[in-house]
Amino acid sequence: MYRILIVDDERIERNGIRFLLKKLNMEFDIDEAVNGLDALEKIRQEDYDILLTDVKMPFMDGIELIDNVVNEKKKMRCVIFSGCNEFDYAKRAIRLGVVDYILKPVDPKEFKETLEKVVDELEAAKASDELKNKSMEFLYEHALYMLVNGEDIESIRREYNGLNLDFARFKRILLVEFNHDFFGRRDVDFKKNEKIMSLGIQRYLNLNQQQELIFLGDETDVVSTAQELARIIKSDYDEECFIAVSSDIEKPEDMKQKVDELDELMDNKFYHPEIKVFYPNMESDSSGMIQFDDDTLMKQMKQDIKMKDVDALREHFDKFCEKYRHKNECSQIYIKFLYSNLLKDIYGSIDGTGEADLNKDVEKMYMTTDFQSLTGLVEVAIDRLAACFEDKSQTGHKEVEMVKQYIYRNYGSELGIDMLADMVYLAPSYLSTVFKKETGQNLSKFIKSYRMERARDMLENSMAKIVDIGAMCGYQNVSYFCSSFREFYGVSPQKFRESGVTGEE
């Protein structure tokens, strides 16, 4: 509905204009003034969309009225209807931007066409303003988005020159997060929620359908504000949310650091889903943290699976979980990556499962929102593994045979426990244990024994130099080779070649 002010010192003329307006079948809020001075006072107190004024009136004429208000009320459209057809009046009206100059008596058809033209202009201006406001809002949000993502503020100011970037008023940021899509719902708009707006919120910045940043000014108790926000969301939308509270923002350039801080705080919800608001320096008990080497634990669990030792697997998995239950500085994605790799190893040893089954559970794993659900998926897989092993006897240690065959083929190369363990995906300590159990001797002694056997054979059946024989058997230092041979056989390589008899013989 548009507001119209009719200005004429003749009541009958004002009534006539009112009558013509009613015949247009348009909704108008109509007001009247008896002369230019009266109209000027009304216009300065209230906003009108259309001014319909006569020219010749006491105290202040129509041209003078328009001249007084044209700069103050730039959006108001002015139309003159007058019995005065002097060219000078018309020329001044054009200069002041008057939409039309209608001569009395007013022709109803001309009046209708003029008002329709005025309304069309107002509609176009309204649409233009809305588009401009949306554009300005979009530009502001984009500039703020660039700032929280680490863009240099001076570069932003240069790019958005002329835009009022009042970022210094923001003193705290809240990160609101849901475990599922929330902000894409049509009935969700915090700006329309009076209870939320009463919390002193300065600005919203939507990140995605699950996350939104809320910017606050100076707050006496921002944690209480966050807790009240969580309570309102639960009450009005029947949804649980998590809120992270940043520390104080000293200057706009700190925004990126504060958002990173919020992301780290929000990771706590994965370990503590019962807590809804997280803030800096929260009390936490990490006294139960146990230090284990990731690689060692993973190798131990891989070996437990290969050896079908479910009890050991459960023990090592408990240690693994205990470590990451307290390791809040690790991202959820990293932990889920580790657990999905373990799940892959477990599925590889469960009969009747394929890649589709694994992918289904890995997808579930990445969809989990808390640590307990994550560990639960692996525990179920371990139970399935135990059931698969229940009626089967353990197979021989094929890894030991693989290591032996490798030594037979590469005795002249460098052979280390770590390298051999990596080759068969075992922990070095575990390989040493199972190797001795299988062969009756430790791995290093087995390597030395085989090298000595090969050296003895070469001394007996070839004319190769002793230094070359040592090198071919993995000893680059001939003195070390000779001392090792003497220690093993009780005689030096030279004397063995000469006599063909060892010390024992």
Q: What is the pLDDT of residues 388-414, one digit of tens each?
A: 876 443 444 678 888 999 999 999 999
Instruction: Express each pLDDT in 119-146 by its tens digit.
Output: 998 988 888 777 776 677 788 888 898 9
Which has more confidence, 102 or 495? 495
Topology of domain 167-278, CATH = Alpha-Beta Plaits (3.30.70)
- Provide CATH code, domain 398-499: 1.10.10.60
Q: Which of 232-236, 294-298, 311-315 has the lowest mean pLDDT?
A: 294-298
CA angle 303, 309, 312 (to 5 degrees): 85
- pLDDT for position 288: 37
State the DSSP string of 314-372: HHHHHHHHHHHHS-TTS-HHHHHHHHHHHHHHHHTTSTT--HHHHHHHHHHHHH--SHH
Question: Which of 37-51, 174-188, 314-328, 435-449 is modeled with the greatest confidence?
Answer: 37-51
Q: pLDDT per residue over 235-274, tens digit each? A: 999 999 999 999 999 998 999 999 999 988 888 888 788 8
Angle (nearest 5°) at CA 23 between 20 and 29: 75
Highest averaged pLDDT of the listed ranges 238-242, 286-290, 354-358: 238-242
Q: How high is the pLDDT of residue 392?
A: 44
Of residues 147, 150, 210, 199, the one with CA closest to residue 175: 210
Q: Which residue has the higher pLDDT, 378 or 159?
A: 378
Amino acid letter for position 154: E
Q: CB within 8 A of 150, min separation 6: which ones?
A: 256
Using CA atoms, how far apart are residues 310 and 304, in angstroms rounded to an integer? Answer: 7
Q: What pLDDT shows up at residue 275?
A: 86
What is the pLDDT at residue 390? Answer: 67
How far out from the chain centre does Cα 289 lie?
28
Instruction: Please give the class, per CATH, of domain 2-124.
Output: alpha beta
Q: How far is it, in rounded angstroms, from Cα 425 to Cα 300?
A: 9
Looking at residue 453, its pLDDT comes to 92
How far apart are alpha carbons 490 and 452 in whole angstroms?
A: 12
* pLDDT at res. 326: 62
Tell me the average pLDDT across 448-473. 93
Percent of the chain with pLDDT over 90: 34
pLDDT of residue 287: 38
- What is the reported pLDDT for 413? 92
Q: Taking 80 as the threshold, does the pLDDT of residue 66 lie above it?
A: yes
Residue 285: its pLDDT value, please?
A: 42
Identify which has the larger pLDDT, 119 or 334: 119
> CA 214, CA 222: separation in Å to the nearest integer?
12
Residue tagged 């005795």 (tokens): 411
Cβ–Cβ < 8 Å for 76, 69:
yes
Q: What pLDDT does 103 receive?
A: 84
pLDDT at 11: 92
- The mean per-residue pLDDT over the stretch 464-478 comes to 94
pLDDT tens-place string over residues 78-125: 998 887 766 666 667 777 888 888 888 888 999 999 999 999 989 888
Would you say residue 52 has pLDDT above 70? yes
Q: Do domains 2-124 and 398-499 have the same CATH topology?
A: no
- Convert the pLDDT of each residue in 179-234 to its tens digit: 888 987 767 888 888 899 888 888 889 888 999 999 998 866 888 899 999 999 99
Mean pLDDT taken over the chain: 85
Q: Are 255 and 167 in contact (CB under 8 A)?
A: yes
Q: Where are the domains of the chain?
A: 2-124, 167-278, 294-389, 398-499
Indicate the helix (H) or strand (E) that contains 203: strand 201-206
Q: Say if residue 333's pLDDT is above 90.
A: no
pLDDT of residue 293: 53
Rounded percentage of the chain residues whose pLDDT exceeds 70: 91
Tell me: cis bond preceding 280? Omega within 30 of 0 counts.
no
Q: Please give the residue that has the higher pLDDT: either 287 or 319.
A: 319
